[in-house]
């Protein structure tokens, strides 16, 4: 089934999920929407996040997508269940996969969760982890400075390093042996986060596990594509230049085409 898979995010963060999907499912076509103009979603009220996420979903509906991946933790926490209920295609979020990967990884069942204010406030990771394993201890930590660092393209800077160290300091006091990057922007900061946490702490990004879940659900529903040369498309509500610079760097592909769209 060669229809595209829709991937939506508040900005460039969902590209970390899209990249894993391209690697694990090289025949699948991805249509990506990043709502860069209204990023970050993290500090917004759930009602607003809900509205914006529906706008991206409606935009992609015209392309007859076969599946939707909400590649934004804040949006997943706010509106996954509603969109899943109302859309006629499978809808996948990033929180359950991240929780799943952490449960598989941890040895001492102490798990830290980094996320936006919205994601941390929602308690969605704690619920997802406890639903599978009630004995796990969770250490949630909001990191409101991380998304702006990534969206501005500063994720390799000295300043980023300082902010990461200052933000994560409280985690050093916990026994957590596993840290979930509970925001799809954070994998771009992963080298710094892993370095700061040290070699005894595993850093989990949900992109990897989300791509596995997408693959499992496509296969289970007999919806895998057979396209040898899928043509991905990228849409942003913001500036194509910054989006291009981050996307081409992260995906390792300078040939990608990006189109500016209006949602509101």
Continuous segment of H or E residues that includes residue 105: helix 95-105
CA distance 189 to 154: 10
Q: Are 237 and 262 in contact (CB under 8 A)?
A: yes
Q: Is 23 in the site for a second copy (CB under 8 A)?
A: yes
Q: Is 19 in the site for a second copy (CB under 8 A)?
A: no
Q: Is 127 in the site for a second copy (CB under 8 A)?
A: no
CB of 93 to a second copy, least distance (A): 9
The nearer residue to a second copy, 173 or 226, going by C-beta atoms, is 226
Structure tokens at 168: 């994560």
Q: Which span (41-49, 163-171, 175-183, 215-223) binds a second copy, by CB under 8 A?
A: 215-223
* Residue 143 is a catalytic residue: no
User: Could you give the count of Cα atoms lying within 13 Å of 186 in the half-sphere of its Cβ?
Assistant: 31
Rounded alpha-carbon distances, angstroms, from residue 110 to 117, 174, 181, 183: 21, 8, 15, 19
Instruction: Tell which one of 173, 226, 252, 255 touches a second copy (CB under 8 A).
Output: 226
171-210 footprint of a second copy as x/- string (CB under 8 A): -------------------------------------xx-
Q: Is 215 in the site for a second copy (CB under 8 A)?
A: yes
Query: Is 10 marked as a binding-site residue?
Result: yes
Q: Is 90 in the site for a second copy (CB under 8 A)?
A: yes
Read off the DSSP letter of residue 89: S
CB of 105 to a second copy, least distance (A): 10
CB atoms within 10 A of CB 29: 20
Instruction: Tell which one of 87, 165, 217, 256 touches a second copy (CB under 8 A).
Output: 217
3-state secondary structure of 10: coil
* Residue 72 is a catalytic residue: yes
Q: Which span (99-107, 140-148, 152-160, 243-251) binds a second copy, by CB under 8 A?
A: 99-107
Query: Which of 183, 189, 193, 202 is an active site residue?
Result: 183
Instruction: Tell which one of 82, 145, 166, 220 touches a second copy (CB under 8 A).
Output: 220
Structure tokens at 104: 């598989």
Structure tokens at 162: 């300082």
Structure tokens at 78: 């706010």
CA distance 104 to 76: 21
**DSSP assignments along 83-95, one per residue:** HHHH-SS-EE-SH
CA distance 100 to 209: 8
Residues lying near a second copy in the complex (CB under 8 A)? 23-27, 90, 92, 96-97, 100, 103-104, 131-134, 208-209, 212-213, 215-217, 219-220, 224, 226, 228
Annotated binding-site positions for substrate: 9-10, 41-42, 73-74, 184-185
Annotated binding-site positions: 9-10, 41-42, 73-74, 184-185
Residues that are catalytic:
72, 183
């Amino acid at each position: 089934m060669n229809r595209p898979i829709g991937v939506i995010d508040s900005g460039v963060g969902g590209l970390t999920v899209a990249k894993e999907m391209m690697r694990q499912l090289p025949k699948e076509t991805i249509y990506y929407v990043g709502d860069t103009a209204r990023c970050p979603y993290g500090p917004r009220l759930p009602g607003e996040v809900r509205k914006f996420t529906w706008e991206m979903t409606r935009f992609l509906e015209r392309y007859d997508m076969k599946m939707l991946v909400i590649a934004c933790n804040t949006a997943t926490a706010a509106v996954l269940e509603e969109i899943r209920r109302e859309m006629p295609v499978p809808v996948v979020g990033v929180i359950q996969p991240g929780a799943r990967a952490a449960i598989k990884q941890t040895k001492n069942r102490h798990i830290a969760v980094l996320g936006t204010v919205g994601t941390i406030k929602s308690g969605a990771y704690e619920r997802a982890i406890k639903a599978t394993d009630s004995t796990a201890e969770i250490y949630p930590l909001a990191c409101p400075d991380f998304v702006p660092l990534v969206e501005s393209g500063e994720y390799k800077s000295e300043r980023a390093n300082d902010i990461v160290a200052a933000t994560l300091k409280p985690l050093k006091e916990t026994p957590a042996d596993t840290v979930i990057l509970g925001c799809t922007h954070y994998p771009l900061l992963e080298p710094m986060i892993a370095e700061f946490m040290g070699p005894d702490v595993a850093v989990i990004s949900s992109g990897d596990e989300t791509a596995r879940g997408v693959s499992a659900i496509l296969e289970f529903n007999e919806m895998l594509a057979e396209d040898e040369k899928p043509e991905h498309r990228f849409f942003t509500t913001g500036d194509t230049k910054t989006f291009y610079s981050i996307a081409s760097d992260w995906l390792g592909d300078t040939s990608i085409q990006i189109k500016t769209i209006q949602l509101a």
